[in-house]
Amino acid sequence: MLISTSATVPASCRVLAAELPHHVGRQVTVQGWLHRRRVLKSVAFLILRDRSGLAQVVVAEPDVMSAVGDHPEETVLQVTGTVTANPQAPGGAEVTSPEVVALSGPAVAPPFDLYRPTVPATLPTVLDHAPVALRHPQLRAPHAISAASLAGFRTALDSLGFTEIHTPKVVASATESGANVFAIDWFGTRAYLAQSPQFFKQAMVGVFERVYEIGPVFRAEPHDTARHLAQYTSLDAELGFITDHRDVMAVLREVLAGMTAAVADRAGEACALLDVKLPEVPRQIPEIHFAEAQELLAEHTGEDPRGEPDLAPAHERWLSEWALREHGSEFLFVTGYPMVKRPFYTHPEPGRPEHSNSFDLLFRGLELVTGGQRLHRYEDYLAALAARGESPEPYAGYLAAFRHGMPPHGGFAIGLERWTTRLTEADNIRRATLFPRDLHRLTP
């Protein structure tokens, strides 16, 4: 009996599709999904998909062929056969003389053909059917890049003496900014989903000096755009005993280099599939002060943004192009943003207090990271809140750390999905999000 519906071969004997070329001449077992099936007159070709890639199985035996005809695409198969060299097969080897076992079958066909090289479906269809749509190699690839990026983020920070933390996602008051919070019923009390781990990571500088957190943050922004998510994964870092924001920028440079290297190292195939061009992270990322940037824009663009408290998207693009042209860098730090556009915990620029010791990192024309030096003295916090007309009361928990002595410190946050979207040049951030949550989407 060559076809059966129960698995008996232990999984430990399994060989992955990508490993087949190393097993030519041997009997092996491969397992995966039936990606594509072509049944010809006297031979059938099965393309099996597993986590490593695709494997070709050649069926010439009549009884196996007829049984294989019953299995639609996405059937989960276990195939035992001989590895045979064939330059035309993926990886240069295929499985011949196979015994084929169906481990389970699909109840319905996928909403679109998963085996086509590019995705023959609109984004809403992809998102509605994420559990099966993400199996398409092109739709899976951004998530392999995200996973690799996370590994690079951690490796870089671990080597710099950072400690990983996990902090509450439910808070008593909306602290980062008053609006755009999700309210929650917490045992009968009103609470909120955390918009960032900002205050916790700052407090933890007092404990571990250098900390990072990778976790979800929640923004109740009622924007239905290609770049807004209501939940995203924030890569947060914070470090103490800095001189100013430049020490934070130096750490961020190492992080970006680590993330890029990890993507090249761990997600090469995903990059190839999406034709990703990884950026070079210069030893020293060029930087320009906000005021200088405005001068430059006034001089060269025919517009005069001086006096504006922020950069327009078109100006960010222009500055990115300028950095590439003048410094050969796809990254550009813009420093010294006006205090009026920065949160209350931002450290002002010494000698120029309308500017701040903060920065944005532009990457390929868009802002990718925001960071800077924070206030560290208790009295400075009280003054900053008073200047904004805010009472220190709701911030009591946050301010506690600063009442007990805190070093000069700063940090940054990278949105994982935004990073992956930029790397893959995707048209919508939802393509870099496993199961997006937004204004309209709570499922799947």
Shortest reach from residue 148's CB to a copy of itself, in Å: 9
- Pick the closer one to a copy of itself by CB: 185 or 299: 185
Please tell me whether residue 203 binds a copy of itself under the rule CB under 8 A: yes
Q: Rule CB under 8 A: choose which of 26, 116, 166, 300 binds a copy of itself.
A: 166
Please tell me whether residue 228 binds a copy of itself under the rule CB under 8 A: no
Of 337, 340, 377, 343, the residue nearest 357 (C-alpha): 337
Q: Rule CB under 8 A: choose which of 61, 99, 113, 209 binds a copy of itself.
A: 209
- Pick the closer one to a copy of itself by CB: 233 or 358: 233
- Pick the closer one to a copy of itself by CB: 107 or 340: 107
Q: Rule CB under 8 A: choose which of 152, 371, 408, 415 binds a copy of itself.
A: 408
Please tell me whether residue 112 binds a copy of itself under the rule CB under 8 A: no
Shortest reach from residue 321's CB to a copy of itself, in Å: 33
- Pick the closer one to a copy of itself by CB: 32 or 305: 32
The stretch among 203-211, 273-281, 341-349, 359-367 that binds a copy of itself (CB under 8 A) is: 203-211
Shortest reach from residue 98's CB to a copy of itself, in Å: 17
Please tell me whether residue 434 binds a copy of itself under the rule CB under 8 A: yes
Q: What is the 3-state secondary structure (H, E, C) of the chain?
A: CCCCCCCCCCHHHECCHHHHHHHCCCEEEEEEEEEEEEECCCCEEEEEEECCEEEEEEECCHHHHHHHCCCCCCCEEEEEEEEEECCCCHHHEEEEEEEEEEEECCCCCCCCCCCCCCCCCCHHHHHHCHHHHCCCHHHHHHHHHHHHHHHHHHHHHHCCCCEECCCCCEECCCCCCCCCCCEEEECCEEEEECCCCHHHHHHHHHHHCEEEEEEEEECCCCCCCCCCCCEEEEEEEEEECCCCHHHHHHHHHHHHHHHHHHHHHHCHHHHHHHCCCCCCCCCCCCEEEHHHHHHHHHHHCCCCCCCCCCCCHHHHHHHHHHHHHHHCCCEEEEECCEHHHCCCCECEECCEEEEECEEEEEECCEEEEEEEEECCCHHHHHHHHHHCCCCCHHHHHHHHHHHCCCCCEEEEEEEHHHHHHHHHCCCCHHHHCCCCCECCECCC
Please tell me whether residue 220 binds a copy of itself under the rule CB under 8 A: yes
Shortest reach from residue 253's CB to a copy of itself, in Å: 14
Please tell me whether residue 186 binds a copy of itself under the rule CB under 8 A: yes
Number of residues that bind a copy of itself (CB under 8 A): 98
Please tell me whether residue 404 binds a copy of itself under the rule CB under 8 A: yes
Q: Rule CB under 8 A: choose which of 70, 164, 265, 303 binds a copy of itself.
A: 164
306 is in an annotated binding site: no
- How far apart CA 259 and CA 256 sit, in angstroms, is 5
The stretch among 62-70, 230-238, 340-348, 353-361 that binds a copy of itself (CB under 8 A) is: 230-238
- How far apart CA 421 and CA 365 sit, in angstroms, is 13
Which residues 7-66 are close enough to bind a copy of itself by CB under 8 A?
7, 10-11, 14, 31, 33, 50-51
Which residues 368-397 are close enough to bind a copy of itself by CB under 8 A?
376-379, 396-397
Please tell me whether residue 147 binds a copy of itself under the rule CB under 8 A: yes
Token couple for 37: 């099936």
The stretch among 54-62, 163-171, 296-304, 421-429 that binds a copy of itself (CB under 8 A) is: 163-171
End-to-end CA distance of the chain: 40
Please tell me whether residue 103 binds a copy of itself under the rule CB under 8 A: yes
Which residues 319-378 are close enough to bind a copy of itself by CB under 8 A?
376-378
Residue numbers belonging to the annotated binding site: 176, 219-221, 227-229, 367, 370, 374, 415-418
Residue numbers belonging to the annotated binding site for L-aspartate: 176, 219, 370, 374
